[in-house]
Structure 1
Amino acid sequence: MTQTTPLGALARGLVAGFAGTVAMTGYQLTVAKLRGQPNKKPRRWADAPVPAQLAKRVSEGVFEHKVKLADEKKLTNLVHFSYGTSWGAVYGLAQATLHAPTLAHGLGFGTAVWGTAYAVLPPTGLYEPPWKYPVKELAFDLSHHLVYGVAVAGAYRALERL
């Protein structure tokens, strides 16, 4: 293992976060397809994915820029990939400090990202508190984040070896 600077850890983390988000997205799409979940356009903002709703709030509330429901998919991807990539930076700094085993750190990291969403989003009204969701749905959501965490950890480890 090579010693790295905080900036190097941050940069590797960002790249690993993007790679982890790609892996998570692929897994989410596969699981949704296997579960027979329709991939239809929402008819109203309340039916749009949470990342798109968050983008709408920021765009309109902070920047006073109106967004169209037709842009929901772009907004979803923008927020989803920005969020996942940003969390990768956190992973990079933590891993450069802790030097934890890849699998264990990835699983712990994915769980932490998942838990943070359920702590931060309910007060915004975009999520319900976790106890209001069926256990099966929470388990699927956790599985998405575990895939993300392990993929981030694996990508970071691969980048360390370059």
Structure 2
Amino acid sequence: MALKKVTAAIGRGLIAGLCGTTAMTLSQQMEMKLTGREQSTGPGDMVASLLGVEPKGQSERETFANVVHWTWGTLWGLPRGVVSLTGAKGGKATVVHAVIILGIDFWILHKFGMRPPPWRWPRKEVAIEVLHKSVLALATGLVYDTLRG
């Protein structure tokens, strides 16, 4: 496989991942308004712990969580690029990408003690997680395929 093809997939993946994160963030904001759920700092807290950093105060904690959210979401465009290198595109690639995102996110949340395995979550919480990660995968895929032409 040519280096040019791989680097193009990486670049498109990062751009698409940023756009997908924007869409997911909007869906999360709408869902939180409807459900009254508070914004989580959990992923940011986990990354801070892994890096050995301690945000000072709630404001820094929320800012760090936001940076983690956008970085992590944008990086989810990379597996979409890898999926495209197999020749998959459109709905098939989006489904594969969504499964990758959900599988790894569920594993990480459990592995680092943030949540029990997903089969022990309340159904509503699983549905919310699946909804937002599906929005991420769908928006990322649409942008990726548009950039790919």
1:60-139 correspondence runs (5 A): 60=52, 65-70=53-58, 71-100=60-89, 102-139=90-127
Q: CA RMSD in A?
A: 1.7
Alignment counterpart, residue 50 of structure 2, candidates 53, 58, 61: 58
The reply to whether residue 160 of structure 1 matches residue 148 of structure 2 is: yes
Q: Give TM-score, length-normalised by structure 1.
A: 0.81
For 1:57, give the aligned amino acid. S
Map of 1:147 onto structure 2:
135
The reply to whether residue 7 of structure 1 matches residue 7 of structure 2 is: yes
Moved more, 21-30 or 110-119: 110-119
Aligned residues: 145
Q: What is the CA deviation profile of residues 71-122 of structure 1, one whole-angstrom value per residue up to 9, with x for unaligned ones?
A: 122111111111111120121122132233x123223312321121112221
Q: What is the CA deviation profile of residues 118-141 of structure 1, one whole-angstrom value per residue up to 9, with x for unaligned ones?
A: 122212111221122111210111
Residue 38 of structure 1 deviates from its aligned partner by 4.3
Percentage identity across paired residues of the two chains: 28
Query: Structure 1 stretches of 5 or more lacking a match?
Result: 40-47
Q: Give TM-score, length-normalised by structure 2.
A: 0.87
Distance in 2, Cα, partners of 1:84 & 1:37: 20
Map of 2:36 onto structure 1:
36
Residue 59 of structure 1 deviates from its aligned partner by 3.3
Change (3 A) 1:55 1:123: closer
For 2:45, give the aligned amino acid. Q
Residue 158 of structure 1 deviates from its aligned partner by 1.4
Distance in 2, Cα, partners of 1:32 & 1:66: 27
For 1:51, give the aligned amino acid. P
Rg (Cα) greater in structure? 1
Distance in 2, Cα, partners of 1:86 & 1:128: 24
Distance in 1, Cα, partners of 2:112 & 2:96: 25
